[in-house]
A = this chain, B = another copy of it.
Amino acid sequence: MQEIFYPLSVAVIGVSPKPDNLGRNIVGNLVEYGFEGVVYAVGPSGGTIETRRIYPTVLDIPDEVGLAVIMTPARTVPGILEQCGQKGIRWAIIETAGFREFGEEGKMLEEQMVAVAEKYGIRFVGPNCIGVISMENGFCVPFPRLTKFVKEGHVSMISQSGGVGMSVLNLMANEGVGLNKFVSAGNMLNIGAVELLEYMIEDPGTELIFLYLESIYDGRTLMDVARKSTKPILAFKSNIGELGNEIALSHTASLTSDDKVVDAAFEQAGIIRIHDATSLGNSMKILELPVMKGKNLAIISRSGGHAIIAADSCELSGFELVELPEPFLREIEKHFRASVINLTNPLDLGDLFDLSVYAQIVEQTLELDTVDGVVFLHTAISSEENHASRELLGHIIEMVKKYDKPVAYYISASAQEVNYLKQNYDFPIFTQVVETIRALELNRKYCMISRRLQQGEVIEHFAVEKELAAELIRTAQAQKRDLLLSESIQVLEHYGIPTARSVVANSAEEVVEAAQQLGYPVAFKIIADQISHKTDVGGVQLNLRTPGAVRDAYQEMTTRIAKLYPQEDLGSVLVQPMVSEGTELILGGRQDPQFGPVVMVGLGGIFVEILEETSVRVAPISRRTAEEMILNLRGSQILRGARGLRPLDVDALIESLLRLSQFLTDFPQVAELDINPLRVLPAGKGCLALDARIILGSLPFIT
């Protein structure tokens, strides 16, 4: 992949002398950015541009060529790629649009391109992309004419949209974030986002990666690759809603993925998901700093108002404003003209006007073991201070290196001065107080993410009766149906998920017999794969305390359901003892087209039904992930015994979740699974699946 970013020689194909020719822009950009290799212009018109010969085809170039950049009409691209192959070119960037997104004809052209590439072993970026930039060697081939608008630095970007990529470059330029490499991935027909990500993770010039994705084709690989990264990965994933989907078809012909699963997958893989440009800019900046290793923060501010706003924000962001030691404060106090200001944290510099003292204060604060990071809120009172103010910034940069702790540097100053600092210092400059604290929260979060990734995930393996479960699934699949309630319950048992004792009964007398065996009170439910929502048809009878009540309920229910389904013989029910201790949860899972099996847990009742509160993760999950899923649920206090309730058996719940994760990973044939409810009993008593539903997908059976 090195050849895509560091080619020794480049043929730009699609150049003509016309002033509005886009290929010409590409050659111009290479010159402007000071590309270190050789550039050949190619175009059927021949002639010259700016004293440079235009070769009719690549075959006419006398020397060897490492990479082709193609910007010619779509219909010509397969032929041109063929010529590149003949010429021995093995790497290409195809910027031309009008393929898949164009319709059937474009799709055919794509297939031809793929065939040619395969024949010659050509690897290519695109088509339908805006190009590539590599700042270190001046390789810059986007088709719009560019000035050197963004400074060189350590952030690399992979963008599925050229337009969005360009606007992020503008954002970076504006925020003073330096670029290392940019690649517009386009239709990703050959080289995809994941492969590019893998390259950036290894690339020595890249320290932070930003991904813009409209679709995810191979979610699992993306997760595996991202997990290995020791560099922060930020990602903006668009195309999340129904409205978005419609446009995707006409744009990069994207596929979409359930957004909650994307959230979960990113979380698990340590990818930081970004939702707007403001937080993107601030996140890129804050991650240039050392990570904040604890939550103890010191705020030093020249304005009392800013100090108040920052303190408010700290509370929301979960920082601790550590108490500063007395001797430290007494030392600081010496610098003040009058003690107008109470010395505390936030430290209000108030009437202290000597900026050289600020540096001392910052250093003394960073020296404190109790301080993990500093927010410095500077106000430039007038332009006469600019020199001293810049000197202070220089000191702060040194101290950040020396103490390996972050100093988030905010300044309120004129636009000119702010821009000077952003463009001339290799250090993040913030201009909004609340946003600075939020960004630092992300820096802290990344510290925890990278620790977690380093520790790795241990996937436990439980001894289960996999073959017995497989047999049930195989049978149902052969009969082209989903699993019956009783079969679903059996499957759970085979995987060691505790279920309520249950007996199948086919008549009123059999139910009474079962009830006597199980002990009153009992409940029973209809067994019928025709009926998916049993409660909707009154197919569940609860809390029956006598044989009479059992008989009446059975009679009433079967009569009623017989009317609803006159063609069927629906007399089978599953009898269980009533369980009323503990709390109901819902456990479940499904196959996601992009990420494969996912597991879900939610508190039952209103939490799921009204608030739609659930926690989702891509399976298989580790014990720690299962714990997090439960801890992250709103209302999870109920499980731990909030408000005088008895603590419930969370360990048993976690184990069921892990076993479910193993089951879903073992059986991709299972499209959807519900355990609803799973009753979690008081601590030490375990949990019980009271109802289960397993729906099979269209995958062929393999085990």
Contacts and interface: CB of A to CB of B under 8 A. Distances in A.
A275 B276 CA distance: 16
Interface stretch (A50-58, A408-416, A618-626): A408-416
Given A173-B414, A414-B173, A304 B609 contact: no
Of the candidates A236, A314, A379, the one having the most CB atoms from chain B within 10 angstroms of its own CB is A379
A167 B382 CA distance: 13
Nearest to A607: B606
Contact of A276 (B146, B432, B609): B432
A277 B246 contact: no
A432 B103 CA distance: 31
Given A167-B433, A241-B312, 19 more contacts: A25-B382, A144-B382, A163-B306, A163-B412, A167-B303, A167-B412, A214-B305, A243-B311, A244-B308, A244-B312, A246-B311, A246-B344, A250-B348, A251-B348, A252-B304, A275-B434, A276-B438, A277-B434, A415-B419
Interface in A305-346: 305-309, 311-312, 314-316, 321, 338, 340-342, 344, 346
Contact of A241 (B311, B344, B348): B311
Contacts of A344: 246-247, 250
**Interface SS of A by simple majority:** helix
A414 B170 contact: yes
A248 B348 CA distance: 11
Contact of A247 (B165, B252, B308): B308
Interface string A366-395: 000000000000010111100000000000
Interface stretch (A545-553, A632-640, A657-665): A632-640
A365 interface: no
A611 interface: yes
Contact of A251 (B241, B248, B304): B304
A490 interface: no
Interface of A: 25, 97-98, 101-102, 144-147, 149, 159-167, 170-171, 173-174, 212, 214, 236, 238-244, 246-252, 275-278, 302-309, 311-312, 314-316, 321, 338, 340-342, 344, 346, 348, 351, 379, 381-384, 412-415, 418-419, 431-435, 438, 606-607, 609-611, 634-635, 637-638, 642-643
Contacts of A171: 431-432
Given A302-B163, A305-B212, A277 B247 contact: no
Of the candidates A25, A251, A314, A418, the one having the most CB atoms from chain B within 10 angstroms of its own CB is A251
B276 A340 contact: no
6 contacts: A165-B305, A246-B311, A247-B307, A275-B434, A276-B432, A277-B435
Nearest to A314: B243
Nearest to A535: B644
